[in-house]
Amino acid sequence: AKRPRWSRNLLWEETDTFGPPSYTTSLYDPPFPPAPNENYLPAPLVATVRSRPDLFKVVTPIKVDVFEELLKDHPNQPLVQSVCRGLREGFWPWATIPSDYPVTYDAAQDPFSDPDHAQFYRDKIAEERSLGRISEPFGTDLLPGMYNMPVFIISQSGKYRMVDDHSATKFSLNSMIPKDERHMRLDGIQKLGVYLR
């Protein structure tokens, strides 16, 4: 019988086989790319980032200097340094902005019709802002170079969750990232169990 989708990486049998744990890929993975030279980006986007750096802060709970020190003996230092640079300056998601894409794009949907969803959204934004994880309001219109993707609320295990759909619409954020770069290697509970034996 086919395993239910929700059980992926949660159930296994003695006969299951697994490759090496994902941490081993850090030994040979290439470094994360830096942001491209500004000459290769749309001028309005560059102007917005330069004029409003307050909107583009990099916020992380990771103590990057400590993290870097812990990894000083890692054999793949180019990868380590690229991760530390990304944690300090922000990561470039391998994006290439197609020439036929608009400079600014607003795919926001109508306000939430469910009052509970609307209140959850307001509370979530207030929480994220209080933690410094999103920028302060800057007006009702997007600035040049900005894209706004649809946001919706789902109920999961009796709790609301906010979803930013970066794959929605023809001009989605994810469509700017080459498909061969859209992957992530994660170990499931099965692999953990195998390596704990």
10 and 90, same domain (yes or no): yes
The parent domain of residue 67 ranges over 1-96+178-197
pTM score, whole prediction = 0.75
79 and 116, same domain (yes or no): no
What does DSSP assign to residue 141?
Answer: S
* Extended beta strands in 43-182, E state: 105-106, 147-148, 151-156, 159-164
What pLDDT, in 10s, does the model give residues 148-158? 999 999 998 88
126 and 34, same domain (yes or no): no
118 and 59, same domain (yes or no): no
49 and 84, same domain (yes or no): yes
* Backbone torsions φ then ψ of 28, nearest 5 degrees: -130, -5
161 and 75, same domain (yes or no): no
pLDDT at 102: 96
What does DSSP assign to residue 62?
Answer: S
68-90 burial: b if 16+ Cβ within 10 Å, else e: beebeeeebeebbebbbbbbeee
> How far apart, in whole angstroms, are the C-alpha atoms of residue 190 and residue 197?
11
2 and 88, same domain (yes or no): yes
Q: Is the dihedral of CA 68, 70, 74, 79 positive or negative?
A: negative
85 and 169, same domain (yes or no): no
6 and 78, same domain (yes or no): yes
Would you write out the chain's pLDDT as a tens digit for each of its 197 residues? 566 666 665 666 665 666 777 778 889 989 998 888 889 889 999 999 999 999 999 988 999 999 999 999 999 999 999 999 999 999 988 888 899 999 999 998 877 889 999 999 999 999 999 998 889 899 999 999 999 999 999 998 889 999 999 999 999 999 998 887 766 666 777 777 776 66
What pLDDT, in 10s, does the model give residues 51-64? 999 999 998 899 99
